[in-house]
Amino acid sequence: MMKRSEKENIVGELTQEINSYNHFYLADISGLNAEKTSALRRLCFQKDVKLIVVKNTLLKKALEASSKETSELYNVLKGNTSLMFCESANVPAKLIKDFRKKAQIPLLKGAYVEECVYIGDNQLENLINIKSKEQLIGDVIALLQSPAKNVISALQSGQNTITGVLKTLEEKK
């Protein structure tokens, strides 16, 4: 039996983790044997994903105490829950999909990604396709730059034409 002070420490540490990561996933890895669990842990380590198994009651308290709006996740806190913390929004989703080529697990219970909550295993593909804020900003910049580049290159290639048009207009005066 865990002491109250131990539980409070765990909730405090979990709350800190939740606040310090932009993204986290809730997965069910029950049913994985020791060998496959080790393989999953290795894969998480290689991909910079922090994997921890937590008690649902303690996780709920940590979510409530966190600075993030995660109340929609409370309903999935049943059965076995593992937390996957990450800096890249879609890495755990890709990792889960790859790992499932060998096992039917982990099952995605929910995720908090880019300040949005995703519920259910059917969200896995959506999460795989999520772009980070940096990627989206890059896309917008590329879109903004392309018309300007086109105008500049047209002006540069047509320099002689413009000069010709101006001369013709000048001569008409």
Residue 118 and residue 91 in contact, taking contact as beta carbons nearer than 8 Å:
no
**DSSP code per residue over 120-171:** SGGGHHHHHTPPPHHHHHHHHHHHHHHHHHHHHHHHHHTHHHHHHHHHHHHH
Q: Which domains does the chain possess?
A: 4-130 (3.30.70.1730), 134-172 (no CATH)
Instruction: Look up residue 69 and give its two tokens.
Output: 């709006």
Angle at 51 between CA 100 and CA 107, to 5 degrees: 35
Residue 27 and residue 108 in contact, taking contact as beta carbons nearer than 8 Å:
yes
Q: Is the pTM of this model over 0.85?
A: no
Tens of each residue's pLDDT in the chain, 173 residues: 889 999 999 999 999 999 999 999 999 999 999 999 999 999 999 999 999 999 999 999 999 999 999 999 999 999 999 999 999 899 999 999 999 998 889 999 999 998 999 999 999 999 999 877 778 888 888 888 877 777 677 667 666 666 666 677 777 76
Residue 124 and residue 93 in contact, taking contact as beta carbons nearer than 8 Å:
yes
Instruction: Look up residue 15 and give its two tokens.
Output: 């709350």
